[in-house]
Amino acid sequence: DSGVTQTPKHLITATGQRVTLRCSPRSGDLSVYWYQQSLDQGLQFLIHYYNGEERAKGNILERFSAQQFPDLHSELNLSSLELGDSALYFCASSVEATATAEAFFGQGTRLTVV
């Protein structure tokens, strides 16, 4: 158990819908990272938050948004969903803000868009 909790574990939704994925970092970790892993696009870094502020942005679509709340949990919002958004969405947390710091990964949320 990494200490990082992602909910829900599985999500099936229709095209055009909006979903929210939640990540609770390990206790004491200030950084949260979001990643998307799919067969079509491989592994992509989406966004990084540190202590409530956006630190780095990757290949995150405009239809997607994220935030980190004062209690440090983070949510990834995906809207106007398309079939190609079907993927495993991972979050990770670390104590530090740097990408070279050890990060702990959640089990992921598997999103299926039908």
Partner 1 sequence: GEDVEQSLFLSVREGDSSVINCTYTDSSSTYLYWYKQEPGAGLQLLTYIFSNMDMKQDQRLTVLLNKKDKHLSLRIADTQTGDSAIYFCAESGDNYGQNFVFGPGTRLSVLP
CA distances from 23 to 41, 82, 93, 103 (A): 22, 22, 9, 14
The one among 3, 17, 43, 63 contacting partner 1 by CB under 8 A: 43
The gap between the terminal CA atoms of the chain, to the nearest Å, is 31
Contact status: 33 vs partner 1 (CB under 8 A): yes
CA 31 – CA 16 distance, rounded (Å): 30
Give the nearer residue to partner 1 in terms of CB position, either 43 or 83. 43
Give the nearer residue to partner 1 in terms of CB position, either 32 or 113. 32
Among 47, 42, 104, 114, which residue's Cα sits nearest to residue 77?
Answer: 47
Give the nearer residue to partner 1 in terms of CB position, either 2 or 79. 2
Contact status: 106 vs partner 1 (CB under 8 A): yes
For residues 49-88, which are near partner 1 according to CB under 8 A? 50, 55-58
